[in-house]
Chain A
Amino acid sequence: MHVVITGCGRTGRALATRLDAEGDEVTVIELDETAQRGLPAGFRGRFVPGNGIHPRVLEAAGIAQAEAFVALTPNDSANIVSARVARDTYRVPHVLARLHDPAHAAVYTELGIATVGSVQTTVNRLIQLLHHRTLEPHQIFGNGETLLVRSRIPDYLAGRRVAEFNVPGEIGVVELSRAGHSSIPEPSAPLQDGDVLSFIVAAVSLGRLRSFLGGKWS
């Protein structure tokens, strides 16, 4: 896969290095020519100095043949502009951009560009680690309002029924894994020691789910 990356800072460099190691063809575009020195010694990819919003620079990087484009400069505007040019002018199939200021999220959304939000991702992860220590989210939806979490059912909950965990608008049991087999359980199904349940849960109700798993229903 030929991947064009703009921005040779910490993230751009790390992604370029990793893709190169995995056998992808990588071209990095960066305004600062001296940033090339930051790339590791055996890097086989190309380095194109210049501004990644400029069509001539993108073309020099082989954008017309690229299968993916990733905008990772520290400048949200430059990331949005280059991502849109890559997608609309050069028809690059996979376009991703980094978002720094969450206030700019609406512009990315309006243009339909998939983003990796550094601030939002970091905050979500920190909240997870601080608040939901025992409940590891498998998937986070929206801005973290809704989560999919899995938890092993402790022995003291054996005999409880699936329905006891369901709270409309807050918690829903969506899956049950038992002895290596997964199913969508009936609300009346009794639980056994060692079952693993998947819950869809509102972030505000994580405390409640944690209480349930701790055996407290009041």
Chain B
Amino acid sequence: MRIIVIGGTGLAEQVADALHRAGDEVTVIDTEPGRESALAKVGLRAIYGDALVSSTLEAAGALKADVLVACTRSDEDNLLISLLAKKRFNVPRVIARVNDPASDELFNQSWGVDALVSPATSLVSMIRPES
């Protein structure tokens, strides 16, 4: 599968690395400059750029991607990246990370989000499945 992972976080990097090892074709858009070479060293295709500008997503191969993971530290960035990926590039599956559980309810189809990962909410629901 062709996968784009966006974010300068450890999580973005770990996800990208694991998928790459599993045989997927992974491109990372790093939103923090200077780390592309470290990612390239482990064999990942990495570009640095502003993912809110569609030319960056296009350069990462958004037109042909099967999955896009919006995994930055900013909820608003993740929402907009998801929206661009879905609306402009028609990426079949868009997965977004939620940083602040107060943003949970925003992460839905109206922003192009097919699935969300919200660590705090997931942990709470494991402890209190009813809440």
Interface set of A (CB-CB < 8 Å, partner B): 51, 53-57, 75-78, 80-81, 85, 88, 101, 103-104, 106-107, 110
Contacts and interface: CB of A to CB of B under 8 A. Distances in A.
B80 A53 contact: no
A181 to B, nearest CB: 50
A81 B79 contact: yes
B102 A107 contact: no
A88 B111 CA distance: 11
Interface of B is mostly: helix
Contact of B52 (A54, A88, A104): A104
Nearest to B101: A54
Counting chain B CB atoms within 10 Å of each CB, the highest count among A56, A57, A76 belongs to A76
Interface of B: 50, 52-54, 74-77, 79-80, 84, 87-88, 100, 102-103, 105-106, 110
B76 A77 contact: yes
B113 to A, nearest CB: 12
Contacts of A51: 100, 102
A107 B76 contact: no
Nearest to A76: B52
Contacts of A56: 102
